[in-house]
């Protein structure tokens, strides 16, 4: 049973995993870092970066240059302070083109990989979205700008608690955050128009696909041996079809590893 820390009225309601962008045919422009010695969050003897400037350069250098054109998505990425969702010691890395390690096997997915997946999901303003592996809540914050309701699940209870509290403080009141096994999804509040898996998977459980509404889309980075690619699985008349979007590489989400088999 998943217990939610933030509930929208009316529904329930609801340094590390970097990879070589050049090998994927993606264009990355190095972010320009502007320093503000008098930033109020500055620690003793440190120089704080201008996060607004870094955010703008992330959007211009990582997102727009790689065919992410959804205006609502680009606007959300440019407005939501990603650094707030990053532990303070790591905030200088908030806008790098790589995953951010949160410990215990959890991570914040790199901005471009996340944007590619979300754009492929084609989220409508009336959709209910299930966000699996929300970590500190950044992905749920972005998705909340695109959908009517976001149900976010995180396997790490401490991260889930932090995400729920932070999203509440920032006023994202159409997001519900709960802790639970990611591969189980959240069947009691299904069906969902969109399911987003915040990392790579080696398998997609049928029980998760069955939580999709008719016409619903599940987006994930599907790993097959050394190759991984963002893919969209669509439910149509009770059957499922998959479409490859583009090759990207992120770390595997806990609970989605392929089960080992005996080889004779």
- The CATH number for 91's domain is 3.40.50.150
In a domain, 253, yes or no: no
pLDDT score for 2: 59
Q: Which two tokens stand for residue 80?
A: 């939501």
Q: How many structural domains is the chain composed of?
A: 1
In a domain, 49, yes or no: yes
In a domain, 125, yes or no: yes
pLDDT tier at 43 (50, 70, 90 boundaries)?
very low
What's the pLDDT tens digit per position in 149-167? 999 999 999 999 999 999 9
Query: Domain range spanning residue 157?
Result: 22-247
Q: What is the mean pLDDT of residues 232-241?
A: 96
What's the pLDDT tens digit per position in 181-215? 999 999 999 999 999 999 999 989 999 999 999 99
Beta bridge partners of 154: 179
Residue whose token pair is 């997915």: 109
Phi-psi region of 96 (alpha: psi -120 to 50; beta: other; left: phi over 0): beta
pLDDT tier at 258 (50, 70, 90 boundaries)?
confident
Closest CA to 6 of 182, 171, 195: 171
In a domain, 2, yes or no: no
In a domain, 15, yes or no: no
Q: Which two tokens stand for residue 253?
A: 């989400």
pLDDT score for 21: 35
In a domain, 9, yes or no: no
pTM metric for this prediction: 0.82
Beta bridge partners of 175: 150
In a domain, 243, yes or no: yes
């Amino acid at each position: 049973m998943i217990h939610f820390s933030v509930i929208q009225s009316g529904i329930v309601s609801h340094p590390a995993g970097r990879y070589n962008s050049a090998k994927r045919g993606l264009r990355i422009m190095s972010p320009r870092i502007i320093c503000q010695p008098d930033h109020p969050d500055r620690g003793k003897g440190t120089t704080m970066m201008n996060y607004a400037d870094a955010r703008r350069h992330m959007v211009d250098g990582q997102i727009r240059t790689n065919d992410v054109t959804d205006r609502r998505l680009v606007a959300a990425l440019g407005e939501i302070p990603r650094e707030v969702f990053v532990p303070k010691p790591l905030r200088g890395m908030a806008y790098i083109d790589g995953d951010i390690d949160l410990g215990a096997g959890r991570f914040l997915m790199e901005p471009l990989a996340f944007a590619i997946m979300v754009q492929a999901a084609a989220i409508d303003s009336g959709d209910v979205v299930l966000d699996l592996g929300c970590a500190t809540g950044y992905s749920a914050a972005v998705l909340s700008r695109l959908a009517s309701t976001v149900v976010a699940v995180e396997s790490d209870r401490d991260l889930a608690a932090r995400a729920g509290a932070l999203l509440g403080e920032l006023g994202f009141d159409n997001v519900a955050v709960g802790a639970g096994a990611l591969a189980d999804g959240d069947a009691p509040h299904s069906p969902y128009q969109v399911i987003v898996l915040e990392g790579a998977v080696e398998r997609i459980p049928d029980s998760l696909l069955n939580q999709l509404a008719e016409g619903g889309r599940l987006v994930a980075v599907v790993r097959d041996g050394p190759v991984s690619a963002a893919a969209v699985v669509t439910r149509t008349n009770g059957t499922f079809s998959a479409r490859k979007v583009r090759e990207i590489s992120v770390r595997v989400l806990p609970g989605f590893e392929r089960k080992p088999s005996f080889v004779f």
